[in-house]
Amino acid sequence: MFETFHPVLTDDKSYPKYIQLRDQLEEYIKSNSIQSGEQLPDIVSMCRIAGLSNRSVERAYILLINDGICFRRPKKGTFVRGEAPVRGDSKPRICAIFDPSDPMRLEKDVIDGRIYAGIQREAHRANIDLLILSERSMPAYLGNSGFDFIGVIMLSWDNVEEARRVVRKYPDVRFLFLNYHFPGFEEMPSNAHGIFNDDFAGGFEATDYLIGRKRRNLCAFALKLPSDNYDRRLEGFLQAAKLNGIAPDDARIYRWSRTGSPRQDEQFAIGRELLQEALEENPEIDGIFCTNDLLAAGVSAALDKLHLRPKIEVVGYDNLLPYLSANGQFSTVAINLELIGERAIKQLIAADASEFPRIINVAPRLMPRHWTEPLPDAAQI
């Protein structure tokens, strides 16, 4: 249907070419009465047709998706939505992935990408199409009788208030929040459910492991986050210490005072700074729990330089970058992100939402790794 589409793009700085392409595609779709379900040319083909870069064509397609003119089936392509039902013998079941920014981001993101892989795997087994939508494009699908819309998975949102507003706006839609628990989630409208990593259990298990390794003088390092995942990990740390008879003064918590999301290299440095602060206050520390592996990698490297690894054991959290704990030789608590994604689809296709509790916690897994003293350099023997 797009064989005769030949865009005419001008060099007008006030009217970017990707917007020109978007507008001309919309006009072509409407003037040719292209039906729902017709596939647009793939990105590479449209680059050749329009003489634009991959990024420019992708931006044009994203605008069409956000405006409800088109929709995307991941790994299948971009399609015309139209007003009529999508052609086929039966209604396609679709699940929306809410992402207000960039539909291409999901597969590249180190956290959401792994959850998304689990979502894709289970959706394929259940014969469900995944659509990546923003709030602007969502009404177009809710009002289209050609789809069997099973719900919305919230993988990314700008802030808690925005998320709450979206859920309230669509009381008949099932929303499922994944991975990041945030304060006040239990007060969300009843159509919002959550599948989260059990961060309390992970923090508890990590600390219990340190204590089982004869570490009694403990501390924990953490960043500040908008979600309360790290707080729950620290609650597990404190509870495990308490149940093992360790006094609060021997279970100190050190937090990086600034808010926001530091870069990876910054988190290494933060780990080193928190270690310095902790050792100045308590030189007898023998066990450190870090709320993520980036902090733990920075701490482990600093301990190596101080020749304190035999004395102080480190446990990290998340295993998002497995090489960190492997190379740094510290234990970590691994989050099963793929399983979180798989369970999301299973819950949304359940006929009766009451079969599931409001919140499901997925258990993480401790991965013990023991530090070994490096062999002496042959030149020194």
Angstrom distance (rounded) from CA 129 to CA 144: 15
Mean pLDDT throughout 177-189? 89
Better-predicted residue by pLDDT, 355 or 224: 224
- The pLDDT of residue 195 is above 90: yes
Strands (E), the chain: 70-73, 77-80, 93-98, 129-133, 148-154, 175-179, 192-197, 218-222, 251-255, 287-290, 313-315, 332-334, 359-362, 365-367
User: Of 333, 336, 360, which is closest to residue 346 (Cα–Cα)?
Assistant: 360
Mean pLDDT of 324-329: 94
In the sheet where 287-290 sits, what is the strand order?
Answer: 251-255, 218-222, 287-290, 313-315
Does residue 368 have a pLDDT over 90? yes
29-47 pLDDT, tens digit each = 999 988 888 999 999 999 9
pLDDT band at 333 (very low <50, low <70, confident <90, very high): very high
Between the ranges 22-36, 136-150, 341-355, where is the mean pLDDT highest? Answer: 22-36
Mean pLDDT in residue range 141-168: 81
Share of the chain above pLDDT 70, in %: 91
pLDDT at 88 over 60: no
**Among 117-131, 270-284, 365-379, which stretch is predicted with the lowest mean pLDDT?**
365-379
Give Cα 258 to chain centroid, integer Å. 22
Query: Tokens 């990698």 appear where?
Result: 297
Is the pLDDT at 105 greater than 70? The verdict is no
- In the chain, the domains with their CATH numbers are 1-70 (1.10.10), 199-335 (3.40.50.2300)
Whether residue 378 has pLDDT greater than 60: no
Query: Is residue 226 within 8 Å of residue 182, measured between CB atoms?
Result: yes
